Structure 1
């Protein structure tokens, strides 16, 4: 099930022959293990080298990072950019993990031309010494960059000569939330002329493109690859399973018991659900790790590194991991909770089957009342097939109920998880997920209770 190849027959040496890439960059790429260009790279490089502001749209795992890093390096080198000029290129990422992954690819390419680079992400208080001078390329998250550009630090980033601004996962940065407000602040601190804007995303919404035009007051050229094909790679076989609300936890246990020798990422919509299911799955002797946005950066980084190194294991996480996490060898993606927006499904599935020749599996849990979501996905050119389950979940369900009843600590976690699950459900697209179809008594049984453990108040 190799699916359509993402690689072209063009090598990076061919780019050099055509004068589109310097020998130093090609040598660095080959040392990193890259030989041939992907389709999006072949389409993108000439356009970005022409200095036009561009919106790049291509599915996850298609090589978008190099598609914008290579021309960025080449342009800065061609214009004779030096460290005394300050920051030449600013790359903004919505998450710390994605920023760090971009930096890992960027560093050897930058060093091949004598450029220095820096990564600015949150987690600790910004200090004057964090803003090192002489970094031609800077990668950062919106909050930290806002502090660095507008805060009260004695030393600010020198951006008066900025030439390239890149927004990775642009649809998330332009979702009209806190990231968008920070982006407006950042952009107001940057020079408004002679700056090439590059927006990159696997999904594009009308609201995103409208905000981009409004904030940057720029007309973007658009590069999209295989727009009529599947939004997700053919290297991932995708299924959904219809599960009654009360049997969701016991179904998850049963599925993961069959996948204990695989490398699996499971997505939830709340941190408390992650904590609860981590306790339950550990009780069933499953090899579980968990990582959430509310945790301290050091623990997040440690868990990420640990799971990265594993050949098999289960990681429970939230939407924080649905974009940018490039973890090799992930066999299965399980979406226990459907994402708040359909685009999130695309990004989550993109955590498996990444790169040439790699295959993966994806499984989506849906309540019978949520099956309309399948039609929504199919309208987005997602090929997804129903998976039938034949078996008895009563024994597992009884064990979960006993665990909650007998363990005071787990009961407290379950109580909070129940409440947060219902509240998170109200954040879904209401055209697809109607809170009034949610049977609260069945939800309580999924968390090991016979009746709702807390008062929820009025559900809107």
Structure 2
């Protein structure tokens, strides 16, 4: 069934066509009718399968059909998300799908000035996408009122509930009309989180689960390379050099690791940018804009951004460090192979990470194909990069020594 056969506003059909969407994905096909009927929904589907549009299309259509004019009468729908990047991403999807309609959407999140957000809210919006912290700040200040809200969406429900936002969700629900629709969407969910989610929806809620045996899109091919921890930087540099035109996201465990990997690449004349929770929001937004525009093709990220990057043409995801939580592997590799595009996920696994790899394979219900490395290839890779590394290390040590010397002089003065 094509979108042009759906009973949705012609303006939304036009927007979908302009974006190149002709047919619904599985999650959209199963979720849209139930949401349009006003039913509560708990939906689990792989990353990159169009979950955001699955709830955005019926929400925008409902607002457009029931609204008498373009003037907003108050927030009708709240979408709660765990991260700033995800809030911005979902806000963008809503704005694309609501063009030419009466629905107005806006995203609020921390790390940026409140005043512009307060002004936009005062102008009137229908759909609010928000991280809990900033949303409750604005509610307490009287900038947000929930009197008209009849739909609550919890996106990335597993992370929202795992991070302890359940109290925030309950607090919001208490402020809403008794009769409101609740939608939970996620790519992964365990039994405990699922139980929490079910406690917040009607007993008649529709349960939708797409490909439960394989939580990752079939468009993603998985590989693993067994490498010593200290050799990872050399193989990463070699891989990027061999795929110089590719768009690549490299995932690491911590912000410190992100900066170290970026500097290691820089020593090999490879430009990259980092994104993690310690950067202020302006820097994080700037990095994402540069990556999306193609100004820079290598992004080094921590798991804070694993769910907030929606770029259709990411060729490779490199797990430089294997994630501590198996479900985070799913969200990381879901940054490639989105929509109808194909993608490749490569994990660098050191001996001490073997246990994590086993857990990931168990979570995926399949073995990840190994890429063997010959002794000659290993020796050539190390030799190719080591010489440059040694020279650059000496330069950096000299610069660090001179910096410390200058600092001592200033202290004496």
TM-score, reference length from structure 1? 0.78
Superposed counterparts of 1:26-105, under 5 Å: 26-80=13-67, 85-105=73-93
Please state if 1:309 is matched with 2:296. no
SS where residue 62 of structure 1 aligns? coil
CA distance in 2, matches of 1:258, 1:28: 39
State how 1:146-295 maps to structure 2 within 5 Å: 146-149=136-139, 151=140, 153=141, 155-177=142-164, 179-188=165-174, 190-214=175-199, 216=200, 218-219=202-203, 220-228=205-213, 230-295=214-279
Cα distance, 1:382–1:159 mapped onto 2, change above 3 Å: farther
Deviations 1:87-141 (A, max 9, x none): 1101112222222221222124334331222221112243443532521111111
Which residue of structure 1 lines up, in the alignment, with residue 406 of structure 2?
A: none
The one of 136, 145, 169 aligned to 2:126: 136
- Is residue 95 of structure 2 the alignment partner of residue 107 of structure 1? yes
Matched, 1:13 2:1: no
Aligned residues: 391
Q: Which has the higher helix share?
A: 2
Is contact 1:291–1:303 with CA below 8 Å preserved after alignment?
Answer: yes
Q: 1:51 to 1:279 in 2, by over 3 A?
A: same
1:364-375 map, 5 Å: 364-375=347-358
Write the distance in 2 (CA, Å) between the matches of 1:262 and 1:109: 29
- Alpha-carbon separation, structure 2, partners of 1:394 and 1:107: 48
| Structure 1 contact 288–315 (Cα < 8 Å) conserved | yes
Residue 24 of structure 2: SS of its match in structure 1?
strand
Q: Is the 8 A contact 1:81 1:88 kept in 2?
A: no
| SS in structure 2 of the partner of residue 174 of structure 1 | helix
Offset at 1:28? 2.8
Runs of 5+ in structure 2 lacking a partner?
A: 402-413
3-state SS in 2 of match to 1:362:
strand
Taking the aligned partners of 1:376 and 1:283, their CA distance within structure 2 comes to: 34
Q: Does 1:361 align with 2:350?
A: no
Q: RMSD value over aligned CA atoms?
A: 2.5
Residues 76 and 313 of structure 1: is their aligned pair in 2 closer, same or farther, counting only changes over 3 Å? closer
| In structure 2, C-alpha distance between the alignment counterparts of 1:59 and 1:330, rounded to whole Å | 17
CA contact (8 A) 1:404 1:410 kept: no
Change (3 A) 1:256 1:191: same
- What CA deviation, in whole Å up to 9, does each residue of 1:49-76 have, x standing for no partner? 2212111111011111111011112333
Tell me the TM-score normalized by structure 2.
0.87
Closer/same/farther in 2, CA of residues 410 and 193 from structure 1, 3 Å limit: farther
Instruction: Decide whether the 8 Å contact of 1:260 with 1:312 is kept in 2.
Output: no
Out of 280, 283, 297, the position equivalent to 1:296 is 280
Q: Any unmatched runs of 5+ in structure 1?
A: 1-9, 413-460
